[in-house]
Amino acid sequence: MSHPPRYREDDPLLGRVRDLALAFPAAREKISHGTPSFFTVKIFAQYGAATKGEHDSWALRQALVFLPEEADRPALLADPRIHIPAYVGPYGWLALDLCDGDPDWDEVRELMDASYRRSAPMRLIAQLDARA
């Protein structure tokens, strides 16, 4: 049984997240558990996040789900815009709420970059570094 879509295709925040995510080398998009997920070999970002207890809603929070560097985790958790998402939170993933005000898109890209580097093959990370 597939999950129903838990996002709106016309969501402007999703559009911006999609543009940033697909700019990474070999990044692709798939719908996983009803949400847009961005991956190379492994997922490095998702759009939409549930918190424990709200996962029955068709609509998820407008959030970037990412896998931070372990050293950055304590500072990120001190930020009120960050929460631990349901399901993937126990594996180290965090979520940045994007719907409160105007997101800092440079920050969003940096969080994606760190997550990408934790999941992408070394050859793709080398391509990313060569762009800089």
- The predicted-structure confidence for 2-47, as pLDDT tens digits, reads as follows 777 777 889 999 999 999 999 999 999 999 888 899 999 999 999 9
The confidence score (pLDDT) of residue 117 equals 98
- In whole angstroms, give the CA distance from residue 65 to residue 37: 9
Question: Does residue 127 fall inside a structural domain?
Answer: no
What percentage of residues in the chain have a pLDDT greater than 90?
73
- Owning domain of residue 61: 12-122
Question: Does residue 98 fall inside a structural domain?
Answer: yes
Q: What is the mean pLDDT of residues 103-116?
A: 97
Question: Does residue 47 fall inside a structural domain?
Answer: yes
Question: Does residue 5 fall inside a structural domain?
Answer: no
The confidence score (pLDDT) of residue 91 equals 94
**End-to-end alpha carbon distance in the chain:** 43
List the CATH number of the domain containing 18: 3.90.1150.30
Please give the model's pTM, rounded to 2 decimal places. Answer: 0.91
- Answer positive or negative: Cα dihedral of 31, 35, 36, 40: negative
Question: Does residue 130 fall inside a structural domain?
Answer: no
The confidence score (pLDDT) of residue 56 equals 55
Q: How many structural domains compose the chain? A: 1
Question: Does residue 19 fall inside a structural domain?
Answer: yes
Question: Does residue 52 fall inside a structural domain?
Answer: yes
Rounded to the nearest 5 percent, the helix, strand and coil shares of the chain are 35, 20, 45
Question: Does residue 132 fall inside a structural domain?
Answer: no
* Of 67, 81, 76, 71, nearest in space to 117 by CA: 67
